[in-house]
Amino acid sequence: MFKLDIENSTQKRKLEYLILALIILVLYKFLYPTVDDTIFSIINDLFIYITVAVGFYYAAEFTSSKLSNPISLVLNVGILTAILFFLTSLSSVLFDSFGNIDEVSGLGYTIISVIVSLIFISFATYILSAIRELFFLRQKRPTEKYFNTMLAAIAAASISATLAYIFKELQFVEKTFYVVSIVLIVVNSFRVSWIAFLTKRQKLFLLFLSSIMSVLFSLNAILLSETNVIEQVLFNFSTGVDVFIRLVMLYGNIYFGIVFITTLFHLPTAGAFDQKSEEVSSLIDLSKLMTQVLDFKELGDSITLATNNVCNSDSSWLVTEDNSEHELVSVSNIGYVEADGITREILNEIELPINKLITLNKKAVKVKIKDDTRTFMFHSLVVVPLKVHTKNNGYLFAVKKQKYYFDEDEKKALGAFADYAAVALENAKLIKESIYKERLESELDAARDIQSRILPDETPSCDELDVEALFVPAFEVGGDYYDFFKLDDDRLGFVIADVSGKGISASYIMAEVKGIFESLSRVIESPKELLIKANDILKHSLGKKDFVTALYGIINIISGKVVFARAGHMPLLVCSKKEIKSLKPRGIGLGLDSSEMFSAHIDNMEFQLNNNDILILYTDGVTESQNSYDEDFGDERFYETILNNCTEKLSVLSSKIFRKVSLFSENKEQHDDITLVLFKWKNNNKMIGEV
């Protein structure tokens, strides 16, 4: 922004200088229309030279802004040259009423003289500035001294013309500088390297334009050298300006003549240059797409379209490969069905290499697609593997239908382009995977947050019953859930459940399950009936592939009586007197069946606890934890750990169970939540019935 303000300020200052110089010049011409006196003549030309210098300095602002399109700059010069030609050639008709221009004086002539002279001066200044920009365009070495030397010679020729008009003995100096200027103009006219960088269409247009402009500049130079109205007006206005304009016209004539010849010689190689330029442009565009485009389809369309431009192919298509499966991603100038059929036929008949380009010509490209009556004839087909490191991600196909084959340059360009395309596709794939992982992690964070809010913050506390809970979430959040419900002073409800699936969907189902059990535990006494009612509710909200395993029970804290029912969950374990009992009444998972089958295949089970008996509720994340050999932790190891530590506090027992599971599966990622709920009933360390 600061740089832009400086540039605007500089341009504005140049314009102010130019306006000031013009005002001074015009006022002087109106005050002193005739300059017979030597001093006034010198002052007159001095003001004119200052105005030309400031105008040239200001014109550079406009000509330099058009360097991105040199043809536009040349066209502007051509238009100005044509205007000057028409003014010069029609001057006799336009100014016929004045008679002999040498004998005309007065305000009318002064006005016309100023207007005509300023038009020619401004146009000539702009033309010189435009040629200067073309002179420096695409130059690799410093050439400023050559152009500045020529400008100095032109300025010297103009000034010496003024002095020679006053001092006749200086005419040889004027002619010397005039000849030197012409020589330098010829030398500098060969600086036309910018032509090589034009496209073929631009070169054809430039050939036409330069031929006309060379003629126009030549005619202007001739007309301004002869005696006519315009030449007399310019000569009377300033002899130096007259010479300056004639030299600019001569410069334009020589320069655009050389432009015409140079362009003519560049035409045979214009097509090859366009091809190389297209290759570079396509590679640059593709490198930009590597970071900007994430959609495979959009990226594939860009690659196939650019392939046709890079190697002049008639059609192209892109096929990706993943685990030996091929998928057609994009086509250009060919139908999907045809491209897919040709690809399958070629892949079935030819074993394509993954490290080099292959070319099929003539009869080898006669392809008959199965179940299609048509036969596809291509005179040349190129298949390029899209390889990244040692992995092949697919193939790029390019075909020519006409009787032209892919030359070596086109194959090399296609190979290089395919390398870029392979990297671009790999980047898009990696970015897509990265976005998916970020979204998955975001969902997992949300699922963990839901799960942490659903699970109880603490376990119930009472004298007769110790309660301990352990929950270790997996990275990919499962649907484990447990909770406690205080039904009255003597009874405590408990539930443990496992929702099928993982992630955010399992967390939402778990939240629904929590609400169902919290509500039903207050109004339904029987665990069996509660689970039947829960199944009726969940059958309307669970998907076809979703289900929930659950175990719900009630323990009488005072008497030690337990009643529970199971809906497809892991069995309830009772550790009593160094022995483990696995209690597994009938029951199928919630949501698996919505008919009478569910209620017909579920039972309540009731039993009595003894002092220091331990109840163990758990999810399959405990017993199904695996080691590096894909072996399950299993029931046997689980039971053994419980028996070896059943005399410990529940907190110690749960920690040792988790430690055993962790050590067993330390070389393998935990794939499911681990949940343990432990109860130890204490009746003052007495058996039931003891006093």
**Domain ranges for the chain:** 70-272, 296-433, 455-681
Q: Which of 522, 519, 513 is nearest to 455 (CA)?
A: 513
Q: Residue 307's pLDDT band (boundaries 50, 70, 90)?
A: confident
Which H or E element spans position 594? Answer: none
Please say if the pLDDT value at position 154 is more than 50. yes
Q: Quick check: 610 and 560 in contact, CB under 8 A?
A: yes
Q: Residue 17's pLDDT band (boundaries 50, 70, 90)?
A: low
Q: Residue 573's pLDDT band (boundaries 50, 70, 90)?
A: very high
Q: Which of 199, 149, 141, 153 is nearest to 177 (CA)?
A: 153
3-state secondary structure of 684: coil
The count of other CB atoms within 10 Å of the CB of residue 264 is: 13
Task: Give the model confidence (pLDDT) of 222-235 as tens digits.
Answer: 888 877 777 777 77
Residue 1 makes CB contacts below 8 A (sequence gap 6+) with none
* pLDDT number for residue 469: 93
Which H or E element spans position 373? Answer: none
Q: Quick check: 320 and 326 in contact, CB under 8 A?
A: yes
Instruction: Quote the CA–CA distance of 313 and 402 in Å, as a whole number.
Output: 9
Question: What CATH superfamily classification does 296-433 receive?
Answer: GAF domain (3.30.450.40)
Distant-in-sequence contacts of 113-119, Cβ < 8 A, 24+ apart? 113/29, 113/33, 113/233, 113/236, 113/237, 114/26, 114/29, 114/30, 114/237, 116/87, 116/230, 116/233, 116/234, 117/233, 117/234, 117/237, 117/238, 117/241, 118/22, 119/87
The count of other CB atoms within 10 Å of the CB of residue 514 is: 20
Q: Which of 599, 593, 574 is nearest to 584 (CA)?
A: 574
- Pairing state of beta strands 561-567 and 480-486? unpaired
Please say if the pLDDT value at position 598 is more than 70. yes
Mean pLDDT of 141-153: 86
Instruction: Quote the CA–CA distance of 100 and 95 in Å, as a whole number.
Output: 10
Instruction: Quote the CA–CA distance of 118 and 276 in Å, as a whole number.
Output: 46
Q: Angle at Cα 255 formed by Cα 253 and Cα 258, nearest 5°? A: 105
Task: Give the model confidence (pLDDT) of 458-505 as tens digits.
Answer: 899 888 899 999 988 876 666 788 999 999 989 999 999 998 877 777
Q: Quick check: 361 and 380 in contact, CB under 8 A?
A: yes
**Facing residues of 581 across strands?**
574
DSSP 228: S
Write the class of the CATH domain 455-681.
alpha beta
* pLDDT number for residue 2: 42
* pLDDT number for residue 353: 61
Tell me what the pLDDT averaged over the chain comes to. Answer: 80
Higher model confidence: residue 654 or residue 67? 654
Task: Give the model confidence (pLDDT) of 375-389 as tens digits.
Answer: 556 778 888 888 877
Mean pLDDT of 81-106: 67
SS3 track for 58-91: HHHHHHHCCCCCHHHHHHHHHHHHHHHHHHHHCH
Check the CA dihedral 127-132-135-139 and report its sign: negative
Q: Which of 613, 625, 635, 631 is nearest to 672 (CA)?
A: 625
Instruction: Quote the CA–CA distance of 197 and 114 in Å, as a whole number.
Output: 41
Task: Give the model confidence (pLDDT) of 255-305 as tens digits.
Answer: 999 999 999 988 887 666 666 666 666 666 666 665 565 666 777 787 788
3-state secondary structure of 40: helix
The string of DSSP codes covering 181-222 is HHHHHHHHTT--GGGGGS-HHHHHHHHHHHHHHHHHHHHHHH
Q: Residue 366's pLDDT band (boundaries 50, 70, 90)?
A: low
Instruction: Quote the CA–CA distance of 75 and 93 in Å, as a whole number.
Output: 28
Q: Quick check: 623 and 633 in contact, CB under 8 A?
A: yes
* pLDDT number for residue 496: 95
Which H or E element spans position 473? Answer: none
Report how far apart the first and last C-alpha atoms of the chain are (Å, whole number): 95
Instruction: Quote the CA–CA distance of 584 and 571 in Å, as a whole number.
Output: 5
Report percent pLDDT > 70 for the chain.
81
Q: What region does 468 belong to: left with phi over 0, alpha with psi -120 to 50, or beta?
A: beta
DSSP 502: -
> Which residue, chain included where needed, has tokens 């979703």?
546
Instruction: Quote the CA–CA distance of 590 and 600 in Å, as a whole number.
Output: 13
